[in-house]
Amino acid sequence: QSIADALNNVVAVAKEQKMVEGFFFGGAITPGMIIDGFNFSSKTEFGG
């Protein structure tokens, strides 16, 4: 699913925002969202 398709299916957005760190640097301040029909299919694991 593309990001554009996912954002087209947003049904709710939280008022509270949270800082999400980037993998290499930086990050983003984002609200939680409910996206109709969206399911995580796997998780990302990083070696350390």
User: pLDDT band for position 48 (50/70/90)?
Assistant: low
pTM of the model as a whole: 0.59
Spatial distance between the Cα atoms of 11 and 9, rounded to a whole number of angstroms:
6
Is residue 28 pLDDT above 80, yes or no? yes
Residue, of 47 and 36, whose pLDDT is higher = 36
Is residue 19 pLDDT above 70, yes or no? yes
Contact 37, 7 (CB under 8 A): no
Is residue 3 pLDDT above 70, yes or no? yes
